[in-house]
């Protein structure tokens, strides 16, 4: 699925960043405003994850896209428009310089600059605490779920 990330856009624009050797291997995707709006299925962040993207930094995100990213363990951090513009220009000048993301500290770093970013507390705590994977959380809580279910009359019987 990763090879299909931005497939239509990449075909229409041979200079799309995902086509550029300069950006190959990058793990942080830096985007503009309202990124992911209209991506209501999990396939969009799945494709990014399988491409190798482990974090997204932008001005804002579509709500469903954001939630789907969190469910896959991909943090989406918001930075100011001024910081976003600086970061995009700096990356275009030095595309092989790594962008690093610290979800716990809510920071994005590039070269010698540290940018303050935001991510809502709930998703941040899930990502930092490793509880973003709801299936794994449910599997770990099997005994507690069974105990609760046993107390519910509509499960245990009346």
Most confident of 88-92, 139-143, 154-158: 88-92
Neighbours of 120 (CB within 10 A): 12
Top-tier CATH class for 2-124: alpha beta
Integer Cα distance of 127 and 125 in angstroms = 6
Query: What is the predicted pLDDT for the residue at 21?
Result: 92
Encode pLDDT of 28-38 as tens digits.
Answer: 999 999 999 98
Q: H/E element holding 108?
A: strand 107-110
In this predicted model, what pLDDT tens digit does every residue of 54-106 receive, in sequence order? 999 999 999 999 999 999 999 999 999 999 999 999 999 999 999 999 999 99
């Amino acid at each position: 699925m990763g090879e299909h990330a931005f497939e239509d856009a990449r075909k229409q624009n041979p200079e799309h960043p995902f086509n550029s050797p300069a950006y190959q291997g990058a793990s942080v995707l830096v985007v503009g405003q309202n990124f992911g709006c209209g991506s209501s299925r999990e396939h969009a962040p799945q494709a990014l994850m399988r491409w190798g993207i482990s974090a997204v930094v932008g001005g804002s995100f579509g709500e469903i896209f954001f939630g789907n990213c969190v469910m896959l363990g991909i943090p989406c951090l918001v930075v100011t428009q001024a910081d976003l513009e600086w970061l995009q220009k700096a990356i275009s000048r030095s595309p092989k310089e790594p962008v690093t993301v610290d979800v716990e500290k809510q920071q994005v770093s590039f070269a010698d600059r540290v940018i303050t970013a935001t991510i809502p507390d709930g998703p941040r705590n899930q990502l930092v605490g490793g509880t973003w994977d709801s299936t794994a959380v449910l599997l770990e809580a099997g005994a507690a779920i069974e105990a609760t279910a046993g107390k519910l009359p509509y499960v245990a019987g009346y």
